[in-house]
Structure 1
Amino acid sequence: MSLRKKILTTMTVFLCSFLFFSNVSAATFPDVPTWADDEISYLFNSDVTNGYPNGTFGTNDNIKRSEAAVMLVRAKKLDGGSTPAEPMFSDIRKGSFYYEAVQIAAENGFINGFSDGAFRPNETLTRGQMAKIISVAYGLNAKSGNYFSDIPGTFAEKYIEGLAANGITNGYSDGTFKPNSNINRVEFSIMLSRAMNDSFKVKPVDPVQDMKVHFLDVGQGDSTLIITPNGGTILVDAGSSSSGQKIVQYLKSAGIDSIDKLVATHAHEDHIGGMLEVMQNFEIGEVIDSGIEHTSQTYINYLTHIDNNNIPFKVPSIGDKVTIDSEVDITVVNSGEPGDDLNNSSVALHLVYDSFSFLVTGDAEEDKELKMVNNFNIESDVLQVGHHGSITSSSDIFINEVSPSFAIFSYGEGNSYGHPDSRVVNVLRNQGADIYSTAYNGDIVLTTNGNSITFNVNPWATEIIPLPEPNPEPNNSININTADYETLLLIKGVGPSIAENIIDYRNRYGHFRTIEELDNVKYIGPATIEEMRPYITI
């Protein structure tokens, strides 16, 4: 049982007859995902389809041949015309609710029976059969071009090509169409609505094109969109909750209508806060999650939406491959393991496309970086710098092994954590990497053909950043309630991890009321408090 199933109970759907009318509007179907609502509403308002008597649409139910015939005849507005007096098929009885529709669809050549004289009204429709009946009904002619790797030689090849050439389908991101797989009610409805109404059509994806990596400016957080050469889409993180609307608008402006892989590197709010809004606006193929739980309401809301909408959910193991595009090799080089805290549970991905390589590590810290170094070849042209440039990540050994030519920092200007740390910026600059920053550059777009790399902006022209001064004299006390990250590092006994933990504690619980309250901060004990005491005040 998956992690989300351990936390949440799956909503069950009572299955009823397909064609009974229900007094609801399409927008009220609780099981229709947001990404399909416009198409279902259009069909509902066009009297092509209706929900079940219990108020649901039956989104994930496989569609039957008889149901498809009824929808198609209604879509073509052929119901009510002349119907052959006698049944055309041995298993179609007069008086059945689909009798007229099946007869009319067959008479018009949209859908045929079988060689034994049967129609098989309750048999499930396959994707290939769907392609044939829609392509024939709407006269969709194929154009020359390479569409899907698994259709050559199949009976439905020319019909599937007709759908692809006319904006009805783009198939799957791995370059297949899966003609022998069953098709469910919502998928059939979307294909039919696109045939009926040009406004729903999709732009065909070119067989091979450049790969793009978009580093979105979401303030203090991370969100990275990867578009593979064959049009596969991966969104790694979605910033904080305040970033959700910006990310949705950005994706739509980029022509994205679905996300094949939605990767939550880990459960902190600045990485998953915007995911709920993203999931409400796009079809999601699969969520990839670190598997390490969090108690925040943001995390619970994220899991609840995944569960209620039956979105496939995977916790990868280290070494797993992410399959999305035959042109691209993606390896999971870190994921959640028992005993990990949230940062170290971060899903880290190493992506290789021809000669190009890219590494994203979430907030994984130094000990996990060393595991990556020991277990994988992580040399990369481009590094999305870990933990927003915190000193807890980007160790010297790690940076030497990655040896990036380009480094991307994602953080909010003036953040209280002091990101990026000057030491990290200096290490990468000394490595010879060109530095880019979302706080400085805004949205950053990388384009590569697998060999050359270009960016839409110029590098961040920062100089080597001076390091903090050594610890102050005891009589120059630092206020632990107001000091920023860099200032906290000046306190004797305080390192990068403790400085971040102090800020996290203040953000959660407010100001320290006594110095002794520091004992509640992770990594601070009585001995550390006594070491700090001469240098601090509240």
Structure 2
Amino acid sequence: MDRRTFLLATGSLVLPVGLARAEVGKPLPERQTGELDIHHIDTGRGNCTLIVGPDGTLIMVDAGASLSAAATSSTPKPDASRRPGQWAARYARRYGKAIDVFVATHIHPDHLGDVSDTMPLSADGRYRLSGVSDVAAEIPVRRVIDRDFPDYGDRPPVQAPFTANYLAFLKARQVRGEAVERFHVGSGVQIGLNNPKAYPAFSIRNLAASGRVWTGTGEGVRDILAQRPAGTPADENACSVAFRLTYGRFSYFAGGDLVSDTHDGREPWRDIETPVARLAGRTEVAAANHHGYFDACGPAFVEALDAQVYVIQAWHATHPGQAQLQRMLGAWQGKATADVFATDMLQANKDLNARFLPNMKSMQGHVVVRVAPDGATYRIFVLNSRLEGSPVDGIFGPYRCR
């Protein structure tokens, strides 16, 4: 049974009008002026999200290029003829000539690119092309925002070849006079539109980075990772960037690989997810933290966000965990349910989560959230990620913002 047949059989494919039915199998309808798009891009190798603002501003969040073993990971999408960052850049070029802002949530290969000796060197020979550096080689990137560059203080990223390569890329940008910025926790203006006056209902609030969480007032922050015992390394996932996007009544949350696991209460400082989710509050659409892995998307995450839609950027056999999927779906008797979409659930994970599959809206493909110009409603398009043209496989909604 192919995916569209499965969706039809389970009643998950929503085709509200004849126009929507005609769109299935065709390219994503052209974005209209004032519409907001959030594309969760399935390259099979990690996270990559492209936000197309109502004025056409392009904001990319992460560009993963994991080298994880094929036995437990997704196959490259659309195929292996190009590297994941190259595919992400080609996808972005459908919507503009440059990435206006690139946000790096944290320094891990499946978010910024792994590295090997077989990968080509950049034009200046300072770093290898993988993930974000591949994106920047294919399409201009005007600004890069990192969690703490250049001074990570007592929260340095792990020493590894992928870290060294990413930092070499950032330093090379500085040498060339290209913008690299530190993520300013609490700011509501650092990440925005090229033409903000035309769309005052759009904003992005920076909620957390490097274990520092906005207090909700002014530029105040709570430093949760400062509570860890002296000499304890800061976990890179806990250092993830988090933000909340709003457009009229619509809202969207993303928190990289934030986690809530405290090692059964022994290390409470590891839970950055809970205070960030409570700060974000009710949200229409939320990206699952840490791919819905066992250590994230805890009870407080779902309770606080209370999202109508969750998007799991899955690419590994462990994405998502059973408890996490049940929690996001609301798959308990008498519990309000949510719609859950995944970019690429592997067969091993489907076997693990078999009892929940009938409740899923989709399990493979690019997941595009398209918000109406008034910010009051949105639809979800699932696109075929195995074909570069990305024809529409499914349409869901319209959802009405609460």
**TM-score tier after normalising by the smaller chain length:** 0.5 to 0.7
Aligned-partner residue type, residue 297 of structure 1: P
Q: Does 1:334 align with 2:208?
A: yes
Which residue pairs with 1:404 in the alignment?
307
Change over 3 Å in CA distance of 1:218–1:207 after alignment to 2: closer
Change over 3 Å in CA distance of 1:438–1:404 after alignment to 2: same
Q: Deviations over 1:375-427 (max 9, x none)?
A: x2432100110101112111111211100000101112xx34x2100111111
Which residue pairs with 2:376 in the alignment?
451
The question of whether the paired residues in 2 share the 8 Å contact of 1:406 and 1:433 is answered with yes
Change over 3 Å in CA distance of 1:269–1:377 after alignment to 2: closer
Q: Deviations over 1:160-209 (max 9, x none)?
A: xxxxxxxxxxxxxxxxxxxxxxxxxxxxxxxxxxxxxxxxxxxxxx9952
Change over 3 Å in CA distance of 1:317–1:403 after alignment to 2: same
Q: Which moved more, 1:320-329 or 1:395-404?
A: 320-329
Q: Does 1:249 align with 2:249?
A: no
The question of whether the paired residues in 1 share the 8 Å contact of 2:238 and 2:258 is answered with yes
**Could you say what secondary structure the match of 1:302 adopts?**
helix
Q: Deviations over 1:485-525 (max 9, x none)?
A: xxxxxxxxxxxxxxxxxxxxxxxxxxxxxxxxxxxxxxxxx
**Could you say what secondary structure the match of 1:258 adopts?**
coil
Within 5 A, what are the aligned runs for 1:289-308?
289-291=146-148, 292-308=156-172
Aligned-partner residue type, residue 186 of structure 2: G
Which residue pairs with 2:145 in the alignment?
288
Deviation at 1:245, TM superposition (A): 2.0
2:179 to 304, 312, 320: 312
Q: Which moved more, 1:289-298 or 1:218-227?
A: 289-298
The TM-score, its normalising length taken from structure 1, stands at 0.44
The question of whether the paired residues in 2 share the 8 Å contact of 1:436 and 1:459 is answered with no
Q: Deviations over 1:463-506 (max 9, x none)?
A: xxxxxxxxxxxxxxxxxxxxxxxxxxxxxxxxxxxxxxxxxxxx
The question of whether the paired residues in 1 share the 8 Å contact of 2:381 and 2:395 is answered with no
**Could you say what secondary structure the match of 1:283 adopts?**
coil
Q: Does 1:364 align with 2:364?
A: no
Which residue pairs with 2:356 in the alignment?
none
Cα distance between partner residues in 1 of 2:191 and 2:395:
32
Question: How many pairs are equivalent?
Answer: 251
The question of whether the paired residues in 1 share the 8 Å contact of 2:173 and 2:180 is answered with no
Cα distance between partner residues in 2 of 1:255 and 1:316:
25
Which residue pairs with 2:9 in the alignment?
none
Runs of 4+ in 1 over 4 A off after TM superposition: none
The question of whether the paired residues in 2 share the 8 Å contact of 1:288 and 1:314 is answered with yes
**Could you say what secondary structure the match of 1:229 adopts?**
coil
The question of whether the paired residues in 1 share the 8 Å contact of 2:284 and 2:308 is answered with yes
**Could you say what secondary structure the match of 1:363 adopts?**
coil
Aligned-partner residue type, residue 369 of structure 2: L
The structure with the largest alpha-carbon Rg is 1
**Could you say what secondary structure the match of 1:294 adopts?**
coil
Query: Which blocks of at least 5 consecutive residues in structure 1 are unaligned?
Result: 1-205, 461-538
Cα distance between partner residues in 1 of 2:289 and 2:274:
13
Within 5 A, what are the aligned runs for 1:86-165?
none
Aligned-partner residue type, residue 264 of structure 1: A
Aligned-partner residue type, residue 427 of structure 1: R
Within 5 A, what are the aligned runs for 1:53-92?
none
The question of whether the paired residues in 2 share the 8 Å contact of 1:221 and 1:388 is answered with no
Aligned-partner residue type, residue 432 of structure 1: T
Indicate the structure whose relative CO is greater, using CA pairs within 8 Å and at least 6 residues apart. Answer: 2
Change over 3 Å in CA distance of 1:340–1:208 after alignment to 2: farther
Identity of aligned residues (%): 26
1:261 to 101, 104, 109: 101
**Could you say what secondary structure the match of 1:425 adopts?**
helix
Which residue pairs with 1:147 in the alignment?
none
**Could you say what secondary structure the match of 1:427 adopts?**
helix
Q: Does 1:393 align with 2:257?
A: no
Deviation at 1:447, TM superposition (A): 0.6
Whose strand proportion is higher, 1 or 2? 2
**Could you say what secondary structure the match of 1:351 adopts?**
strand
The question of whether the paired residues in 1 share the 8 Å contact of 2:291 and 2:312 is answered with yes
Cα distance between partner residues in 1 of 2:309 and 2:32:
28
The question of whether the paired residues in 1 share the 8 Å contact of 2:245 and 2:252 is answered with yes
1:213 to 28, 35, 38: 38
Deviation at 1:345, TM superposition (A): 0.5
**Could you say what secondary structure the match of 1:259 adopts?**
coil
Cα distance between partner residues in 1 of 2:288 and 2:395:
15
**Could you say what secondary structure the match of 2:170 adopts?**
helix
1:441 to 352, 358, 364: 364
Q: Does 1:421 align with 2:321?
A: yes
Cα distance between partner residues in 1 of 2:287 and 2:144:
21
Which residue pairs with 1:192 in the alignment?
none
Deviation at 1:340, TM superposition (A): 3.1
The question of whether the paired residues in 1 share the 8 Å contact of 2:367 and 2:381 is answered with yes
Within 5 A, what are the aligned runs for 1:164-243?
208-240=33-65, 242-243=83-84
Cα distance between partner residues in 2 of 1:371 and 1:459:
33
**Could you say what secondary structure the match of 2:159 adopts?**
coil
The TM-score, its normalising length taken from structure 2, stands at 0.59
Q: Does 1:380 align with 2:303?
A: no
Cα distance between partner residues in 2 of 1:245 and 1:377:
33
Change over 3 Å in CA distance of 1:315–1:394 after alignment to 2: same
The question of whether the paired residues in 1 share the 8 Å contact of 2:86 and 2:138 is answered with no
